[in-house]
A and B are shown apart, each in its own frame.
Chain A
Amino acid sequence: SAVISQKPSRDICQRGTSLTIQCQVDSQVTMMFWYRQQPGQSLTLIATANQGSEATYESGFVIDKFPISRPNLTFSTLTVSNMSPEDSSIYLCSVGTDLNEKLFFGSGTQLSVL
C-alpha cells in the first residue's frame, strides 16, 4: 500500500487567486494522478503526472488552469489558477503501483472559492 499526505486539507479562497496543493507519497511511484470530485458528484481524472515529463491532461482540463509539477518520484503539486466559484471541489491526489492494479488516494483538499 501507499500512504499519501495531501496539504492543505481544506481552504477558502477568493475569486481570481490561485492555490497550490501538495501531495507527498511515502514511497517512490512512477505515476501520480490528480482527480476532482465536485460536490455530491463522482471523481473525474484531471491529469496524469509522471516524473521527468510533462503532465498529460484529460479532455476539459488545460495546463494553464491546472499546472502540475512532478519534481521527483514521491512528490507532486497541482495548482488551481485564477479560481472561480465553479472550481469549488475536492481535489484528490492518487498513486498507482507498478506491480499491481491498486490505486490509492489521499484524503483530498476541500476547496471553496468565494
Chain B
Amino acid sequence: QQQVKQSPQSLIVQKGGISIINCAYENTAFDYFPWYQQFPGKGPALLIAIRPDVSEKKEGRFTISFNKSAKQFSLHIMDSQPGDSATYFCAASKSYGGSQGNLIFGKGTKLSVKP
C-alpha cells in the first residue's frame, strides 16, 4: 500500500515532442504528489506538485494531471527540449505538519530528448 509505481523506466522523445510519465499509487491517504527532476551528479529538485483537490496543475511547459478515482497521476512535458534530459521521480506522501519528508518515491524515468 506504500508503493508508488512509475512508468516507463526510460523514455526517448524528439525535440519539440510531448513527454509523458505516469504514476499510480494505492494508499488513499496520500494527499501530496510532487515530481522531482534529477540531473547526473545532482540531488533531486522539486519540479511541480499537486494536491487531490485539483485535477490539473500547469507550470510553464510542465503539467500534472491527476485522476483521484483511478489513483493515478502523470507528468506531461510539452515542447520537450534536450535540456529536459534527466531522471524524473514521482512521489507521494501524507502531509503532516507542513513538512513532506516522508515521501514515497517511484523508481524514476530516465528521459532523453533527442535534438
Contact = CB atoms under 8 A, between A and B. Distances in A.
A45 interface: yes
Interface of A: 4, 6, 30-31, 33, 41-45, 48, 92, 94, 96-108, 110
A60 B99 CA distance: 22
Nearest to A98: B98
9 contacts: A42-B107, A43-B103, A43-B105, A44-B105, A48-B102, A94-B101, A100-B98, A103-B46, A107-B43
Contact of B46 (A33, A42, A104, A106): A104
Interface in B77-115: 89, 95, 97-103, 105-108
Q: Secondary structure at chain B's binding surface: helix, strand, loop or mixed? A: loop
Contact of A96 (B42, B45, B89, B100): B100
User: 6 tightest A-B contacts by CB?
Assistant: A105-B43, A96-B99, A33-B101, A42-B105, A43-B105, A42-B107
Most B Cβ at <10 Å: residue of A31, A44, A98 = A31
